[in-house]
Copies of this chain bind each other. A is one copy, B any other.
Amino acid sequence: MSGRAYLVDDDEAIRDSLGWLLESRGVACLSYRSAEDFLDEWDPALAGCLLLDIRMDGMSGPELFDILRERGSRLPVIFLTGHGDVPMAVSALKKGAFDFVEKPCNDNELVNRVIEALRLDANQRAAASGADSLNSRLGRLTTREREVMERILAGKLNKIIAEDLQISMRTVEVHRANLFEKMGVRTAVELAQLLAGRR
């Protein structure tokens, strides 16, 4: 398993017991006594999931959650609370929390949720890395290549593209071949599929 469980709770007894529980089921776990502590060490590259207490001294769980989302984190978050109310649970889930569980809870169930969350995160990261590599390739295109690419995706013939850009057809062919090379595709169809959903 690539990711860890990050446990943020100001109650040491909870940290210890949950930490032990997770480790015993093979889930690596790091504990933090406050939201601030976690935020200090947080990095977009941290992979896994976050177990987050609602009420804590200092920054609350939901506050930390909001900050992480603002910073672009998609880390799955499982809220833990001893005093949860319905509106809070609803709000958390609608904002994209992975789960919301009341303490005390069924240990077995919680670990299963954590494992699901880890799997989700792994999948998200795999998808994101694909998107990154795509964007990186896209970024290496020159302006002209991008202009030609747009028109290829619009289904235009090289001849028309040449007229569009007021350059010779030969030049279009060159740009076309170069951008195919850079994008790692062999045909316009592959290019279209590669960029499917985007733009």
Of B99, B152, B187, B196, the contact of A196 (CB 8 Å cutoff): B196
A197 at interface, CB cutoff 8 A: yes
A190 at interface, CB cutoff 8 A: yes
Query: So how many copies of this chain end up in the complex?
Result: 2
Stretch binding the partner chain, chosen from A15-23, A80-88, A123-131, A135-143: A80-88
Stretch binding the partner chain, chosen from A6-14, A56-64, A67-75, A89-97: A89-97
- What class of interface size applies to chain A in its complex with B? 20 to 34
Within the complex, what minimum Cβ distance (angstroms) separates A132 from chain B?
Answer: 20
On chain B, the residues within 8 Å of A85 by CB distance are 86
Whether B196 contacts A155 by the Cβ 8 Å rule is: no
A interface residues with partner B (beta carbon < 8 Å): 84-87, 89-90, 93-94, 99-102, 152-153, 155, 186-193, 196-197
A-B contacts besides A85-B86, A93-B94, A152-B189, 13 pairs, CB < 8 Å: A84-B86, A86-B86, A86-B89, A86-B102, A89-B89, A89-B90, A90-B93, A90-B101, A155-B190, A188-B188, A189-B189, A192-B192, A196-B196
What are 16 sample pairs from A and B whose C-beta atoms fall under 8 A apart?
A: A84-B86, A86-B86, A86-B100, A89-B89, A90-B93, A90-B99, A90-B101, A93-B93, A153-B189, A153-B193, A155-B186, A155-B187, A155-B190, A188-B189, A189-B191, A189-B192
